[in-house]
C-alpha cells in the first residue's frame, strides 16, 4: 500500500511541479534556519563530561574582608592559595584539583624555529583523571611529583605536532622559560566545549598547551594568567605567597555520587567556621557548591543571542509550516474530484488519509535534504564570525539525523489537516458537479 501511495504522490508532483517546488522550498528554508541555530545551541550547551558532570563540584568560599558586598551575596569565585592547599590536604572527595592558568615561553630544540608563548595550566595530579583527558603518549604525573615540585610536564597534541612533528616525545625535554621540564605525557586531541573547568580562561577557549605541577610553577616562578582578586593591606608584594589575601585558584572536587554533595557542603561550612574563629575569615560563612551543569548555567555559558536566534529560527520554521499547510490545502481542494472517484471505486477514508500523509512526508524528505544543504551553508556563515564559539559550529552525526527527522515530522504535522480535509470529501456531491 505504501508503494501505491508513493506512486500517487509522484504523479501528483509531476502534475503540479511549481506548487510542489514551493512546498519543498518552504520546508527547506525553515529546516535550514532552525538547524543552523539548533546546531550552534547544541554545540555550546552540551554536557562537556557526560556521566560525571553531576559529581564534579566547584568550590567557593567567602574569604574576602569585611564590607564590600552585602552578606549572603555571591562569594569570590576563586580561592586563596592557603585555602586551596588546606582543602587539598584534607582530601574530602575521590579526587580534588587546585589549578590556575599561565603562559610560558617555549624554546624549540630546533635552532631554526623561533621561540613562542604557549598557554599553560598549573595544576595537581588528579586533573587528568578527574576531567578524563585522552592520551596519545604517556600519562600524567603522580601525587608525589606535586609534593616534590618535579620538573615534569604534559603537553597537548597540537604542541607535540609543532615541536616534535607528532612523534612520541615522552622522556624528552621541554624548555619553558629558563627551565627544562621532562615530558611525561602527550594528550590526544582534546577540546572540551565549553571550557568548563576554567571559565576565566574563556567560555570556549582552546585547551592549554602545557600542563605542569602547581608546585613546580611556584618554584620556577612561571608567569600566571587569569583572574586575580586581592584585598586589605598585603604584607608581601607577591600575591602567590601562601598567606597573601588574594583569590586566584580554582578548586574542583569529585565525589562518589551526587548524593554526597550535602556532606561536602557541611565540611566546607565547618572549615569556614574554623577560619572565622581563627580570624582569617571576616565575613559570615558563605559557601557555594555547584556541579558542572549548575556552574555553566550560573555563568550563562550559552550566549543570550544564541537563545534568541534559536527562538526566532523555530518561529520562522512555524511560519514556513503554516505556508506549507496552506499550499497542501489548496492542492487538496483542487484534487477533490480525483478523491471522489477513488472513494467511489472503494477507497476508504483511511486510505485517502494515508495517501496525503505519504505525499506530505515525501515533500518533507526532499525539503529536509535541501534544508541540510542550507544548514551547512548557514554554519559556514557562522564560522566566518569573530565570536569565540564560531569555529565550533559544525554539524555532527546526531544533528544530521535530527535534521532529517525534524523535516519528516514537520511535514507530516503540516499534512495532517489537509489529509483530514481530503477524508471529508463527499463523493456524491463531487461526482454530481462533474
pLDDT digits (tens, 9 = 90+) for 200-212: 888 888 899 999 9
Rounded to the nearest integer, the mean pLDDT of the chain is: 84
Rounded distance, CA 172 to CA 322, Å?
A: 64
Calculate mean pLDDT across residues 396-417.
76
* Tens digits of residue pLDDT in 6-35: 655 566 667 777 777 888 888 888 888 888
| pLDDT of the residue at 95 | 96
Is the bond into 194 cis (omega within 30 degrees of 0)?
yes
Calculate mean pLDDT across residues 70-88.
89
Q: Give the number of other Cβ atoms within 10 Å of residue 386's Cβ.
A: 5
- Listed in order, strand segments (DSSP E) in 177-287 are 179-187, 210-213, 224-225, 229-230, 246-254
Residue of 108, 133, 59, 38 lying closest to 294 (CA atoms): 59
Calculate mean pLDDT across residues 377-390.
77
Rounded distance, CA 126 to CA 132, Å?
A: 10
Rounded distance, CA 111 to CA 221, Å?
A: 25
| pLDDT of the residue at 411 | 77
Instruction: Find the range with the poorest average confidence among 1-15, 114-128, 350-364.
Output: 1-15
Of the pLDDT bands very low, low, confident and very high (cuts 50, 70, 90), residue 247 is: very high
Rounded distance, CA 47 to CA 28, Å?
A: 29
Of the pLDDT bands very low, low, confident and very high (cuts 50, 70, 90), residue 431 is: very low
| pLDDT of the residue at 207 | 92
Of the pLDDT bands very low, low, confident and very high (cuts 50, 70, 90), residue 72 is: low
Rounded to two decimals, the pTM is 0.78
Of the pLDDT bands very low, low, confident and very high (cuts 50, 70, 90), residue 408 is: confident
If you average pLDDT over each of 270-284, 298-312, 419-433, which comes out highest?
Answer: 270-284
Calculate mean pLDDT across residues 66-71.
69
Burial call 222-253: b when 16+ CB within 10 Å, e when fewer: bebbbbeeebeeeeeeebbeeebbbbbbbbbb
Helix orientation angle between 2-15 and 17-45, rounded to the nearest 10 degrees: 110
Model confidence at 358: pLDDT above 90: no
Instruction: Find the range with the poorest average confidence among 148-157, 183-192, 318-327.
Output: 318-327
Rounded distance, CA 360 to CA 354, Å?
A: 10
Rounded distance, CA 207 to CA 197, Å?
A: 10
User: Between these two residues, 263 and 201, which has the higher pLDDT value?
Assistant: 263
Residue of 119, 114, 115 lying closest to 106 (CA atoms): 115
| pLDDT of the residue at 177 | 86
Model confidence at 354: pLDDT above 90: no
Cα dihedral 232/234/239/245 (nearest 10): -40
Model confidence at 257: pLDDT above 80: yes
Enter the C-alpha cell of residue 113. 624555529
User: Between these two residues, 270 and 38, which has the higher pLDDT value?
Assistant: 270
Enter the C-alpha cell of residue 79. 580561592
User: Between these two residues, 291 and 313, which has the higher pLDDT value?
Assistant: 291
Residue by residue, what is the 3-state secondary structure of 277-335?
Answer: HCCCCCCCCCCEEEEHHHHHHHCCCCCHHHHHHHHHHHHHHHHHHHHHHHHHHHHHHHC
| pLDDT of the residue at 347 | 63
Model confidence at 260: pLDDT above 90: yes
Calculate mean pLDDT across residues 273-283.
90
Model confidence at 357: pLDDT above 70: yes
Rounded distance, CA 353 to CA 232, Å?
A: 77
Amino acid at each position: 500500500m505504501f508503494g501505491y501511495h508513493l506512486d500517487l504522490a509522484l504523479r501528483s508532483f509531476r502534475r503540479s511541479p511549481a506548487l510542489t517546488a514551493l512546498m519543498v522550498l518552504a520546508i527547506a528554508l525553515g529546516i535550514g534556519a532552525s538547524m543552523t541555530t539548533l546546531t550552534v545551541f547544541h554545540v555550546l550547551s552540551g554536557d562537556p563530561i557526560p556521566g560525571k558532570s553531576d559529581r564534579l563540584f566547584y568550590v567557593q568560599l567567602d574569604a574576602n574582608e569585611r564590607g564590600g558586598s552585602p552578606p549572603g551575596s555571591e562569594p569570590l569565585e576563586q580561592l586563596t592559595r592557603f585555602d586551596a592547599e588546606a582543602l587539598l590536604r584534607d582530601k574530602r572527595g575521590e579526587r580534588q584539583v587546585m589549578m590556575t592558568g599561565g603562559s610560558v615561553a617555549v624554546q624549540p630544540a630546533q635552532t631554526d624555529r623561533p621561540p613562542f608563548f604557549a598557554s599553560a595550566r598549573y595544576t595537581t595530579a588528579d586533573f587528568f583523571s578527574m576531567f578524563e583527558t585522552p592520551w596519545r603518549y604517556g600519562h600524567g604525573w603522580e601525587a608525589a611529583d606535586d609534593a616534590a615540585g618535579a620538573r615534569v610536564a604534559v603537553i597537548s597534541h597540537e604542541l607535540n605536532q609543532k615541536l616534535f612533528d607528532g612523534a612520541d616525545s615522552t622522556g624528552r625535554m621541554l624548555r619553558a622559560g629558563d627551565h627544562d621540564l621532562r615530558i611525561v605525557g602527550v594528550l590526544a586531541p582534546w577540546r572540551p566545549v565549553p571550557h568548563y573547568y576554567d571559565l576565566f580562561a574563556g567560555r570556549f577557549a582552546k585547551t592549554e598547551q602545557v600542563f605542569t605541577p602547581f608546585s613546580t610553577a611556584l618554584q620556577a616562578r612561571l608567569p600566571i594568567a587569569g583572574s586575580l582578586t586581592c584585598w586589605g593591606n598585603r604584607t608581601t608584594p607577591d600575591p602567590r605567597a601562601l598567606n597573601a589575601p588574594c583569590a586566584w585558584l580554582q578548586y574542583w572536587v569529585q565525589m562518589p555520587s551526587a548524593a554526597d554533595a550535602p556532606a561536602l557542603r557541611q565540611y566546607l561550612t565547618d572549615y569556614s567556621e574554623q577560619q572565622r574563629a581563627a580570624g582569617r575569615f571576616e565575613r559570615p560563612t558563605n559557601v557555594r557548591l555547584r556541579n558542572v551543569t549548575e556552574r555553566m548555567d550560573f555563568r550563562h555559558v550559552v550566549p543570550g543571542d544564541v537563545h534568541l536566534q534559536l527562538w526566532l529560527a523555530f518561529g520562522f520554521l512555524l511560519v514556513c509550516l503554516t505556508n506549507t499547510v496552506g499550499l497542501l490545502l489548496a492542492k487538496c481542494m483542487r484534487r477533490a474530484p480525483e478523491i471522489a472517484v477513488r472513494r467511489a471505486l472503494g477507497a476508504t477514508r483511511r486510505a485517502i488519509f494515508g495517501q496525503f500523509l505519504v505525499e506530505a512526508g515525501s515533500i518533507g524528505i526532499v525539503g529536509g535534504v535541501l534544508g541540510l544543504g542550507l544548514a551547512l551553508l548557514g554554519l559556514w556563515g557562522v564560522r566566518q564570525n569573530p565570536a569565540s564559539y564560531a569555529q565550533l559550529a559544525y554539524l555532527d552525526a546526531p544533528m544530521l539525523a535530527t535534521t532529517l527527522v525534524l523535516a519528516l515530522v514537520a511535514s507530516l504535522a503540516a499534512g495532517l489537516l489537509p489529509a483530514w480535509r481530503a477524508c471529508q470529501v463527499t463523493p456524491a456531491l463531487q461526482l454530481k458537479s462533474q
